[in-house]
Chains A and B, each alone.
Chain A
Amino acid sequence: MSAAERTVRPVSIASFAQSQNVRKDDERNEVEGLMPVIAEVFGNIGITKDDVGFICSGSTDYLIGGPFSFVMALDAVGVWPPKRESHVEMDGAWALYEAWVLLQEGEIDAALVYSFGRSSLGDLNEILTLQMDPYYEAPLWPDIVSLSALQARALIDAGKATEADFAAIASRSRRDALSNPKAQVAKDVSPEVLLQDEYVVAPLRRHALPPITDGAAAIVLAAGDKAREWSDRPVWITGFDHRMETHSLGARDLTSSPSTAKAAEMAGVASGKVDVAEIHAPFAHQEIIVAEALGLDDSVVINPSGGPLAANPLMSAGLIRIGEAAERIRSGKADRAVAHATSGPCLQQNLVCVLEGE
């Protein structure tokens, strides 16, 4: 079934909130970090937890080192009387997808989605190795930076990018982040200066890596009358899809992203002009791959928020892309936006969400 043949119930991004993105939030536990975000996402539109019929969260226990930490996190919402609730061990963008699917059923009209994660508590390189194939890859402890560097090298060898391109993306991201008060890394620095950075794992220099970020984010989805009641200019989800590729790293063409392209096709990205794209490309070179897979032309404004190179709170950075894209529409700076989220090594899994204003 193509995107055009699908019948979707209009669902809007009614509210978005995110924490300050910081290198290390070591004063608060997960609940204490989430509560202000939940309060803000409800407060933006003057509702309470009693106004949502479903709660879905995205997080991973390995970040905190505590099994079932997502259960404890529910204390930040207060799930009494008993709430309909779910959790995905994925970025919050996938939790948003689950909530969107549930809203399609028509039984409920609003949902809360949130995500959280402190990347600073453990050794991120070791933690992220646990997402690799446990037989063939994880026993060697390949870190995410090295794996991304393999992808960057493949891109360079294929003639699709240069190190200068990576620096240009990092430079633009950090400059754009100057206008994002929630960003962690924001500065005006030229690509030429960035190219003097040391290699972390060649061919990736320091600037091509995302910062290590602690943060949380939340979105309220609304359908039907509630969407109009809670917003003067609803931002509608008009296409939504996610796809994944094989777990076998060496069986993939790392220079392209067929899963992004398929998700974009199913979400109907090409059925209208795209004004802005928020791309969840944690490593600079990945933006080139995703932009190509999404079919974006040079007129599209990419990551005006600064994107994940300015703040990369694990498990939230994808959800934030959707929230930031929605805010561009709500503020009138764009009419149609594409938000992308990724998970897994080297863009293994990808999600595409198309947003439109009225």
Chain B
Amino acid sequence: MADSEVLHAEHRLEYPYSRSTGPIIGAFLTALRDGRFLGATGSNGSIIVPPTEYDPITSDDVGELVEVGPGGVISSWAWVSTPLRKHPLQTPFAWALITLDGADTAMLHAVDAAGPDDLATGTRVTARFRPASERIGSMADIEAFVVEGGAA
């Protein structure tokens, strides 16, 4: 059989999943919708953000939820000069692991900055939330983080 006779077709796989959040993730997302951050108290007293139902290191149940952020420090980052179609920002940006003030673990999000020269590990950033009317209780309620005191 000639190569050209092998067929090809566009194939789309689509699942409209809807997930239960449970009490911990649900509380975090509810707080995000309100423009606030919550962390969970781990079994050794560390504050886990974003909070999981269990301590990711000890696997114990987590304790009370406490408010953290909205500012924090970049613990690592990577500069995306050509965003992919599903990325949260469609202009050049950085992915970053951000340790919010009061937290002991980092959360992944996008940082909106003019260029890589504006960023470094240790740079202070703060969350830029979407307008309250657009927030639904999702990580995307945070449009991006921006450098604290910066023009953005």
Tell me, yes or no, whether A and B come into direct contact in the complex with CB atoms closer than 8 A.
yes
Hey, which bits of chain A sit against chain B, CB under 8 A? 26-27, 62, 65, 125-126, 129, 134-137, 139-143, 146-147, 149-154, 157, 199, 201-204, 246-251, 254
Residues of B contacting A134 in the complex (Cβ-Cβ under 8 angstroms)? 17, 19
Residues B80 and A251 in contact, CB atoms below 8 Å apart: no
Of the candidates B78, B81, B88, the one whose C-beta lies within 8 Å of that of A150 is B78
Of the candidates A65, A135, A139, A140, the one whose C-beta lies within 8 Å of that of B21 is A135
8 cross-chain CB contacts under 8 A:
A62-B13, A149-B78, A151-B76, A157-B76, A201-B81, A202-B78, A246-B57, A248-B56
The smallest beta-carbon distance between A239 and chain B, in angstroms, is: 26
Of the candidates A62, A140, A251, the one whose C-beta lies within 8 Å of that of B56 is A251
- How far is it, in angstroms, between the C-alpha of A54 and the C-alpha of B13 when the chains are bound? 32
Q: Taking A26-B6, A146-B78, A250-B98 as given, write out 17 further A-B residue pairs in contact, using a Cβ cutoff of 8 Å, ordered by the A residue number.
A: A27-B6, A65-B11, A136-B50, A136-B108, A139-B138, A140-B139, A146-B95, A147-B95, A153-B76, A154-B76, A201-B79, A201-B80, A202-B79, A247-B56, A248-B48, A248-B50, A250-B50
- How far is it, in angstroms, between the C-alpha of A109 and the C-alpha of B64 when the chains are bound? 53
Residues A140 and B109 in contact, CB atoms below 8 Å apart: yes
Residues A250 and B105 in contact, CB atoms below 8 Å apart: yes
Which parts of B38-87 form the interface with A (CB within 8 Å)?
48-50, 52, 56-57, 75-81, 84, 86-87
- How far is it, in angstroms, between the C-alpha of A65 and the C-alpha of B9 when the chains are bound? 12
The smallest beta-carbon distance between B149 and chain A, in angstroms, is: 22
The verdict on B91 contacting chain A, using a C-beta distance below 8 Å, is: no
Residues B76 and A27 in contact, CB atoms below 8 Å apart: no
Residues B105 and A248 in contact, CB atoms below 8 Å apart: yes
Residues of A contacting B49 in the complex (Cβ-Cβ under 8 angstroms)? 250
Residues A153 and B77 in contact, CB atoms below 8 Å apart: yes
Residues A141 and B84 in contact, CB atoms below 8 Å apart: yes
Residues of A contacting B27 in the complex (Cβ-Cβ under 8 angstroms)? none
Residues of B contacting A154 in the complex (Cβ-Cβ under 8 angstroms)? 75-76, 97, 121
User: What is the interface residue range for chain B against chain A?
Assistant: 35 or more
The smallest beta-carbon distance between A66 and chain B, in angstroms, is: 8
Residues A199 and B81 in contact, CB atoms below 8 Å apart: yes
Given A134-B19, A139-B140: A202 touches B81 (CB 8 Å cut-off): yes
Residues B97 and A150 in contact, CB atoms below 8 Å apart: yes
Residues B108 and A201 in contact, CB atoms below 8 Å apart: no
Residues A202 and B116 in contact, CB atoms below 8 Å apart: yes
The 8 closest A-B pairs by CB, nearest first: A250-B106, A149-B78, A246-B56, A141-B86, A202-B79, A154-B76, A251-B105, A251-B56
Residues of A contacting B98 in the complex (Cβ-Cβ under 8 angstroms)? 250
Residues of A contacting B121 in the complex (Cβ-Cβ under 8 angstroms)? 153-154, 157
Residues of A contacting B138 in the complex (Cβ-Cβ under 8 angstroms)? 139
Most chain B C-beta atoms within 10 Å of own C-beta, residue among A125, A140, A149:
A140
The verdict on B25 contacting chain A, using a C-beta distance below 8 Å, is: yes
Given A134-B19, A142-B95, A248-B52: A150 touches B105 (CB 8 Å cut-off): no
Of the candidates A62, A202, A249, the one whose C-beta lies within 8 Å of that of B97 is A249
Residues A137 and B81 in contact, CB atoms below 8 Å apart: no
Given A140-B108, A251-B57: A149 touches B95 (CB 8 Å cut-off): yes
The smallest beta-carbon distance between B80 and chain A, in angstroms, is: 5
The smallest beta-carbon distance between A155 and chain B, in angstroms, is: 9
Residues A199 and B79 in contact, CB atoms below 8 Å apart: yes
Which chain B residue shows the least CB distance to A127? B13
- How far is it, in angstroms, between the C-alpha of A137 and the C-alpha of B95 when the chains are bound? 11
The smallest beta-carbon distance between B23 and chain A, in angstroms, is: 13
The verdict on B118 contacting chain A, using a C-beta distance below 8 Å, is: no
The smallest beta-carbon distance between A95 and chain B, in angstroms, is: 24
Which chain B residue shows the least CB distance to A67? B13
Residues of B contacting A135 in the complex (Cβ-Cβ under 8 angstroms)? 19, 21, 25, 29, 50, 139
Of the candidates A26, A137, A251, the one whose C-beta lies within 8 Å of that of B8 is A26
The verdict on B134 contacting chain A, using a C-beta distance below 8 Å, is: no
Residues B6 and A150 in contact, CB atoms below 8 Å apart: no
Residues of B contacting A129 in the complex (Cβ-Cβ under 8 angstroms)? 86
Residues of B contacting A126 in the complex (Cβ-Cβ under 8 angstroms)? 84, 86
Residues of B contacting A249 in the complex (Cβ-Cβ under 8 angstroms)? 97, 106, 108
Which chain B residue shows the least CB distance to A141? B86
Of the candidates B13, B84, B108, the one whose C-beta lies within 8 Å of that of A250 is B108
- How far is it, in angstroms, between the C-alpha of A36 and the C-alpha of B3 when the chains are bound? 19
Given A65-B13, A135-B19, A150-B78: A27 touches B108 (CB 8 Å cut-off): no
Interface 1/0 per residue, B102-124 and A, CB below 8 Å = 00011111100000100001000
The smallest beta-carbon distance between A306 and chain B, in angstroms, is: 26
Which chain B residue shows the least CB distance to A139? B139
Interface 1/0 per residue, B1-17 and A, CB below 8 Å = 00100101001010001
